Amino acid sequence: MLPDELRDNIEKVQNILKKLPMDCKMVESENLHICLSFLGDVEEAKIKDIEQKLDDICHRYASDEAEISGIKLIPSEKYFRVIAFDCQSEMLRSLGRDISKEIGGDAYPPHLTLCRVRNIHKKEDVVDKIKKIEPYVGKFTVPLVEIIKSQLGKASPVYTTLHRSKLLES
């Protein structure tokens, strides 16, 4: 759950990205979130077990502050399909590793996807302009972790929160 003032800062960066010579799909404001692990397709019967494991993991971590700053080109600067903000938090990095180890999924460094890139017209120019974007969005306290279901819709993915696991109060 991102504070509104951070969403506003993120949208300002997305508006800059929209003007660059590339074909991309921006993540809608209501869908912005920090990704710790991507589970992929999960059978409905396994969801309750995953929820319980996530609760157990989250009860080992105290809520902490995270900083959103630094633009990342994923998977690399030479060949990127995602533009994201880095999320600086040792607690979230450790939490993501535990989720991947105990529940599964792909462990990523915590990040916030800004857009998915389909085609880039002048890659070197785009990369240069991206590097000049102010990379700081802000800090916020992370109180919980959510399991989010993503379903492809006609215009964009539809995200549904399936479960919330609270972190310990710090």
Instruction: For residue range 24-68, list pLDDT tens digits in order.
Output: 999 999 889 999 988 888 888 999 999 999 999 999 999 999 999
Q: What pLDDT is attached to residue 107?
A: 66
State pLDDT tens for residues 104-150: 888 678 999 999 999 998 899 999 999 999 878 999 999 999 999 88
Burial letters for 61-90: b for 16+ Cβ neighbours within 10 Å, e otherwise? beebebebeebbbbeeeeebebbbbbbbbe
Structure pTM? 0.88
State pLDDT tens for residues 83-102: 999 999 999 999 999 999 99
C-alpha 115/C-alpha 106 separation (Å) is 19
> Domain 4-166 is in which class?
alpha beta
Dihedral pair phi/psi, residue 75, rounded to 5°: -85, -20
Q: What pLDDT is attached to residue 151?
A: 82
Smallest Cα–Cα separation from 162: which of 5, 36, 25, 50?
A: 50
